[in-house]
Amino acid sequence: MVAPLSAWPWENLGVFKYLLYGPLAAKVLYSWIYEDSIKDLWCLHILVICALRGLIHQLWSSYSTTLFLTRNRRIKPEGVDFKQIDREWDWDNFLILHALLAYMACLIFPSLDDLPLWNPKGFITLLFLHVTVSEPLYYWAHRYFHEGYLFTHYHSLHHSSSVTHPYTAGHATFLEHLILCIVIGIPMAASIMMGYGSTSMVYGYVSAFDFLRCLGHSNVEVVPHEVFIKLPFLKYFLYTPTYHSLHHTEMGTNFCLFMPLFDAMGNTVNRNSWQLHKKISSDSAKNGRVPDFVFLAHGVDLTSSMHAPFVFRSFASVPFSTRIFLLPLLPVAFLVMLIMWAWSKTFLVSFYNLRGHLHQTWVVPRFGFQYFLPFAMEGINKRIEEAILRADRIGVKVISLAALNKNEALNGGGTLFVEKHPDLKVRVVHGNTLTAAVILNEIPKDVEEVFLTGATSKLGRAIALYLCRRRVRVLMLTLSTERFQKIQREAPADCQNYLVQVTKYQAAQNCKTWIVGKWITPRQQSWAPSGTHFHQFVVPPILAFRRDCTYGDLAAMRLPDDVKGLGSCEYTMERGVVHACHAGGVVHQLEGWTHHEVGAIDVDRIDIVWKAALKHGEHRRVKRARNGPKTEKMDPHGKSTRPGLPHTGVSHGCVSLAGSKHDLHW
């Protein structure tokens, strides 16, 4: 049975809950359009204050997840996972509650419209009332909410977040936020009734209140311990993120709102508060834990750059897709791109833990189009080289190159760096061997003929050579007879006749298995017969144009369920799914292989890598393909909403890592 006032009245409305701001917005718009001035000015103030409070939480969220700035000052080293993000998805419910209560106050007390802009007496009165009323009221209410029924049915929701985050501050029950509204409202209401109120007082107090709440839940220590050495009394008047984090790990202590003075008076100060704060603050300049594996990625385009966890956490936790709300931010993204081009170095963007191993994603500050600018190639290689040398210096075991970072024309699939630095301890991996294995193992064993575009690329070559050994006829689309013949000569003599050069798409009009390594238009797709399945390793994926055909997704792998701290999606991949080249590096690290995987794909190692991935696997997952142009509907959390289709997170061509040790199955 649900406890009274534990659920939010609008929790089932989804995004439509924001329509509750409608009366306020309508009143402001009506007054602005049809009247000489906005009569109910506080309706506008309430909307602005709610937007400001949301912005404060967003800025704190961005700061706390900007790992290249905060990684060495994180209090709990674990990351925020998808489960916590989903639980805190509606963290902003309290803003709607406070807006509605404030609107009711404006209706009951119309004299609020006459508040002056500034009154210094109001700030003094407010501070006095906060210290003497709000702080002790919150302290005792908080203590009671940690007991029996109140904790089990109410406050346990707030403590369900294992790693604090600024949004955790707003993640609580309806009853708790009603009480918090009283706590925050008493100083303001009393100051106004005394005649000392002002508009700036309301703005300032509410903003400071939320700022300090976010600070305490940020999981990043921002207060230098030297401040408390020089001003020892200050530690009783201002809490720190470390101080409040101890309340979440050892719940019987550190109950205060913002002032540890009340914990001292109630004898509930955690004895480790100051020592832990000093330790984390002092060690912030030191290097954190060294990752075992690094995935070296790069930006795709301006819109996808806003899919980073430090931009919008909720958006980054679902597969990337272009959204309308991103469009106004494009000028900002463009400016950031120029700044990164001029000054930025490779930086840390996300991490997760896998069976005791720390895995990180570093990003080269370049976007896809820049890799095709001749004058930019040297600078890009320099950034990649610097990242590899840094990884080697700090003790990373494996670094995997993503997408264009291993472009053959750029650095020979990583060969440039290995040859230039022959003494590298870190293993450089392009991961394409496993990518090829995933593609090849999703092709049915009874297929006798395939049509291959991008046939002379690194992956195309490996796929063609592997299939011809299986006595599969490969129609290789290429205009270069020289490149075709070079690949053909690599095949065993008795298999060379299975490789056939074609120069037009018409040659595949009777072939129902297309392997797409070069982008093809809807018109070119029209040559495929009905029932064709399009396997692909082209970025971006081709348009699902044909309703009578099926389309596979890019080769990818699912990380195991026991992965910890994973809270962001890798580009368009589903939750917990990474590109096969990323997974190839993970397998390389887990297997402890000591060779570099660079340059051309060793066809003889495709089965070795695949068997290494599957050696602890037990069963094959059911694959699903999509028909164009229909696409599967997803809910806001990236889960399937198709009736009767369980959400497995596995797309066609997606492999799953699961089980003990490093089990893999697809």
- The percent of residues in the chain predicted with pLDDT above 70, rounded, is 92
Amino acid identity at 317: S
Residues 348 and 497 in one domain: no
pLDDT in tens, 440-474: 999 999 999 999 999 999 999 999 999 999 999 99
For 405-457, give the DSSP string: GG-HHHHTTTHHHHHH-TT--SEEE--HHHHHHHHHHTS-TT--EEEEESTTS
345 within a domain of the structure (yes/no): yes
Q: What's the number of domains the chain is made of?
A: 3
- Dihedral over alpha carbons 597, 601, 602, 607 (to 10 degrees): 90
Indicate the pLDDT class of residue 287, thresholds 50, 70 and 90. low
CB 511 within 8 A of CB 525: no
Domain assignment present for residue 57? The answer is yes
Supply the CATH number for residue 458's domain.
Answer: 3.40.50.720
Q: Is residue 573 part of a domain?
A: yes
CB 580, CB 663: distance < 8 Å: no
pLDDT at 1: 76
Question: Do 457 and 501 fall into the same domain?
Answer: yes
Distance CA 402, CA 380 (A): 13
- Flag whether 96 is in a domain: yes
In a shared domain, residues 136 and 201: yes
Amino acid at 450: V
Give the pLDDT band of residue 650 (cuts 50, 70, 90): very low
* 129-146 residue pLDDT tens: 999 999 999 999 999 999
> Which of 18, 69, 34 has the alpha carbon at shortest distance from 222?
69
Q: Are residues 506 and 536 in the same domain?
A: yes
For 167, counting Cβ atoms within 10 Å of its Cβ (0-12 exposed, 13-18 middle, 19+ buried), the class is buried
> Which residue segment(s) compose the domain that 398 sits in?
293-429+562-620
Other C-beta atoms closer than 10 Å to the C-beta of 431 total: 27
Residue 367 and residue 310 share a domain: yes
149-185: pLDDT as tens digits: 999 999 999 999 989 999 999 999 999 999 999 999 9
Residues 148 and 228 in one domain: yes
For residue 27, give the 3-state DSSP assignment.
helix
Q: Give the pLDDT mean for 376-384.
A: 97
Judged against a pLDDT cut of 90, whether residue 634 lies above it is answered with no
Quick one: how many helices (H) and strands (E) in the chain?
Answer: 26, 16
Examine the domain organization and report whether 443 and 422 are in the same domain. Answer: no
Report, in angstroms and rounded to the nearest whole number, the Rg of the chain calculated over CA atoms: 29
Angle between helices 241-249 and 273-282 (to 10 degrees): 120
Please write the tens of the pLDDT for every residue from 503-547.
999 999 999 999 999 999 999 999 999 999 999 998 778 989 999
Residue 643 lies in a domain: no
What confidence score (pLDDT) does residue 277 get?
Answer: 94
Structure tokens at 565: 């701290």
Tell me the CB-side half-sphere exposure of residue 547, using CA atoms within 13 A.
Answer: 1
Smallest Cα–Cα separation from 29: which of 39, 18, 15? 39
- Residue 13 DSSP symbol: S
Same domain, yes or no: 500 and 369: no
Specify the pTM. Answer: 0.90
- Does some domain include residue 2? no
Same domain, yes or no: 123 and 246 = yes
Do 500 and 477 meet the contact criterion of CB atoms below 8 Å apart? no
The values of phi and psi at residue 185, to 5°, are -85, -30
